[in-house]
Amino acid sequence: MATNQLNRGESRRLMYLENKDGLIDGARARIGWVTFSKTGRTVYYRGRSLTSAGGRLVSGNFVDSDSSEKFWVSGVKRRGSNAHPAESVHVVVDDDAQEAYALARQSRPSSGDAMAAGKASKASGVIRR
């Protein structure tokens, strides 16, 4: 697999995903495990194939190949600022991501590692299910 800023050379990564055009299984935004294509330009999550928009979109950085919905996909932020500060977005953490999310929030980043997970900012709430 090609290494890039999004996948960091990992085949599976805990990520923040926000559907700019609708819901992801009942939630506008979720934190969960994604996998990547060999090129690293496609993200797979909950049966969706999200293809990189290559900077062509204003509201999202990925597009669902089937529905054309726009998504924002990024690493989970430790400081909890995943959603845009002007937006009020409730975030649901997937069941299989609970433990990794909790550990990422507690861990300290290694030098140069800005990854890791964050708790909800004032503008967004995290719901654990």
Regions of the chain short of the pLDDT cut 50: 111-124
For residue 110, what pLDDT is reported? 53
Q: What is the pTM of this model?
A: 0.76
For residue 125, what pLDDT is reported? 55
For residue 92, what pLDDT is reported? 94
For residue 118, what pLDDT is reported? 35
For residue 127, what pLDDT is reported? 58
For residue 62, what pLDDT is reported? 93
User: What does the CA dihedral 24, 25, 30, 31 come to, rounded to 10 degrees?
Assistant: -120
